[in-house]
């Protein structure tokens, strides 16, 4: 009596419930941290009144692409789900140089026989929550190296 008929349209985005399939196929994580839903997957066609065929990624090529309506949850688009990113300049050894953007705070730590000055640094491509405490003299030396590099480039340019 409380059951409602679910119908979805072609091209809708859906989440696929994978918890019942845990014994058959593991989806990257095991145990309590395993995924309950994966997606968002796009509906290709409605096969029957309660079955849909999906466009699956290559990582899920081992399972059937047709699912019952009870295993689906509608994906509601939300602009906050879209992640903006800035491309990184990656070195030959697949690393990138962190660039400081702003000093958020300054603090002096008193040790037994000396004082240590720390600054909270906001790094490029990181959020405010990911700011780190660094030694002030290390940051000054780093800034000095950057300035010297810029002066060297300026002298080489015509």
96-117 per-position pLDDT tens digit: 778 888 899 999 999 999 999 9
Q: How far apart are CA 119 and CA 139, in angstroms?
A: 8
CATH number of the domain located at residue range(s) 13-78 in this protein: 2.30.30
Q: Does pTM surpass 0.85?
A: no
Residues 72 and 52: beta-carbon distance below 8 Å: yes
CATH number of the domain located at residue range(s) 100-156 in this protein: 2.40.50
- Tens-place pLDDT, residues 133-157: 999 999 999 888 878 877 877 787 6
Of residues 157 and 61, which shows the higher confidence score? 61
Report which of 35, 101, 109 is spatially closest to residue 73, judged by C-alpha positions: 35
């Amino acid at each position: 009596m409380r059951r409602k008929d679910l119908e979805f349209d072609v091209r809708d985005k859906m989440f696929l419930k994978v918890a019942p399939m845990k014994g058959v196929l593991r989806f990257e994580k095991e145990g309590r941290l395993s995924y309950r839903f994966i997606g968002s997957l796009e509906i290709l066609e409605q096969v029957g009144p309660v079955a849909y065929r999906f466009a699956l990624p290559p990582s899920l090529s081992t399972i059937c692409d047709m699912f019952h309506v009870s295993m689906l949850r509608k994906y509601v688009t939300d602009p906050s789900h879209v992640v903006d990113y800035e491309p990184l300049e990656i070195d030959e050894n697949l690393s990138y140089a962190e660039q400081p953007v702003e000093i958020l705070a300054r603090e002096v730590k008193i040790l037994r026989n000396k004082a240590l000055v720390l600054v909270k640094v906001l790094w490029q491509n990181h959020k405010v929550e990911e700011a780190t405490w660094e030694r002030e003299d290390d940051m000054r030396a780093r800034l000095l190296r950057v300035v010297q590099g810029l002066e060297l480039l300026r002298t080489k340019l015509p």
